[in-house]
Amino acid sequence: MASDEAVKEGREFHFTKKDFDRVCKLIYDHAGISLSDSKQELVYSRLSRRLRATGISNFAQYLALLESNDEAEWEEFANSLTTNLTSFFREAHHFPVLAEHLRSLRGKHPISLWCSAASTGEEPYTMAMTVLDALGRDASQVSIVATDLDTKVLATARAGVYPEERISKLPADVVKRFFQRGTGAQEGMVRVRQELRDMVTFRQLNLLDNNWSVRAPLDVIFCRNVMIYFDKPTQLAILKKFVPLLRNNGLLFAGHSESFHHADEYFKLRGKTVYELSPGARKQALENERRNQTRDVR
């Protein structure tokens, strides 16, 4: 690029390197997302839609609107720049591990699961299917909280309605048990059955917020394919905040391209992209649990 102010010919909106750098800072400060220079075209494409929707004629004015703390547009801005690639039973090797862990906890205490990047709902609903398969009638002791930064994908997740092709690779018995096919105006669509929807509570949550609307103790955290958008310091800060939420034998599930070796003070690898608390963190979790039990008895 010839200079910071260079722009591409033929673009609908004036978009400079300075504009891109402002976008990077805004989304990093707000959501911890770290954008590389290779994302300039993606940023231009996604945010151009917001300029059209707001009637703003250039990026400088649009970014000034954000910097004035326009709450409604901040939500649209964050929604535009978050990525929501997901599918049912994505990274399928995780779900037998989850099922085994659930069976080991059967009858011991209410079981709490957190899906921290719910997107359009396929992941938490897959968790719910796994719960029902693993525990059967005892599934009622399990609750799932599913969160995401993007409010639009959460609306889709709550509805639980998807194009039929989203389930095309699932076994026929899974489709029959857990989905209803649409008819009439809804032909070509499917809906997750009510028993699954009843198991999952969806909430908006920013992992960079100081306070999370998720309460300990948790038995499982799914945080898959999220950390790749954060730099190492941000990853470490989030992982550190996971620790006091987990029971001493809790599990953390990561994405296929994510590694938390830099957080070995808090987590150690248990299996393929499945982590458990490190010895020091587990000792602290046990002490917290004993303290809470003593408080409950009093």
Q: Where are the alpha helices (DSSP H) in the chain?
A: 17-31, 40-54, 59-67, 71-81, 94-105, 122-135, 151-159, 172-178, 194-197, 232-242, 279-297
Looking at the structure, do residues 144 and 214 belong to the same domain, yes or no? Answer: yes
Average pLDDT over residues 191-198: 96
Looking at the structure, do residues 121 and 178 belong to the same domain, yes or no? Answer: yes
From 55, 81, 107, the end of a domain falls on 81
CA 15 – CA 227 distance, rounded (Å) = 28
Looking at the structure, do residues 135 and 22 belong to the same domain, yes or no? Answer: no
Looking at the structure, do residues 76 and 181 belong to the same domain, yes or no? Answer: no
Q: pLDDT of 125-161, one tens digit each? A: 999 999 999 999 999 999 999 999 999 999 999 999 9
Question: Per-residue b/e over 182-193, b at no fewer than 16 CB within 10 Å?
Answer: beeeeeebbbbb
CATH number at residue 197: 3.40.50.150
Active site residue 138: no
Looking at the structure, do residues 257 and 134 belong to the same domain, yes or no? Answer: yes
Task: Tell me if 3 is assigned to some domain.
Answer: no
Q: pLDDT of 222-264, one tens digit each? A: 999 999 889 999 999 999 999 999 999 999 999 988 999 999 9
CA 218 to chain CA mean position, Å? 16
Looking at the structure, do residues 218 and 271 belong to the same domain, yes or no? Answer: yes
Looking at the structure, do residues 107 and 59 belong to the same domain, yes or no? Answer: no
CA 190 – CA 202 distance, rounded (Å) = 19
Model confidence at 297: pLDDT above 50: no
Confidence of residue 294 (pLDDT cuts 50, 70, 90): low
Q: How many CB atoms lie within 10 A of CB 3?
A: 9
| First-to-last C-alpha distance (Å) of the chain | 67
Token code pair at residue 191? 């809906």
The least confident of 20-34, 76-90, 181-195 is 76-90
Domain extent, residue 41, equals 17-81
For residues 50 and 77, is the Cβ–Cβ distance under 8 A?
Answer: yes
From 51, 81, 111, the end of a domain falls on 81
Looking at the structure, do residues 190 and 291 belong to the same domain, yes or no? Answer: yes
For residues 19 and 62, is the Cβ–Cβ distance under 8 A?
Answer: no
Token code pair at residue 38? 């290779």
Q: For residues 148, 151, 153 and 157, what is the CA-based torsion angle, rounded to 10 degrees?
A: 80
Q: Which of 19, 22, 50, 148 is catalytic?
A: 148
Average pLDDT over residues 115-120: 96
**How many independent structural domains does the chain possess?**
2
CA 208 to chain CA mean position, Å? 12
Active site residue 203: no
Task: Tell me if 87 is assigned to some domain.
Answer: no
Looking at the structure, do residues 21 and 137 belong to the same domain, yes or no? Answer: no
Please give the backbone phi and psi of residue 259, each rounded to the nearest 5 degrees, phi first: -140, 135
Q: Which of 21, 46, 138, 166 is catalytic?
A: 46
Token code pair at residue 179? 């989905």
Looking at the structure, do residues 214 and 66 belong to the same domain, yes or no? Answer: no
Looking at the structure, do residues 226 and 196 belong to the same domain, yes or no? Answer: yes
What value does the mean pLDDT of the chain take? Answer: 91
Phi-psi region of 87 (alpha: psi -120 to 50; beta: other; left: phi over 0): beta
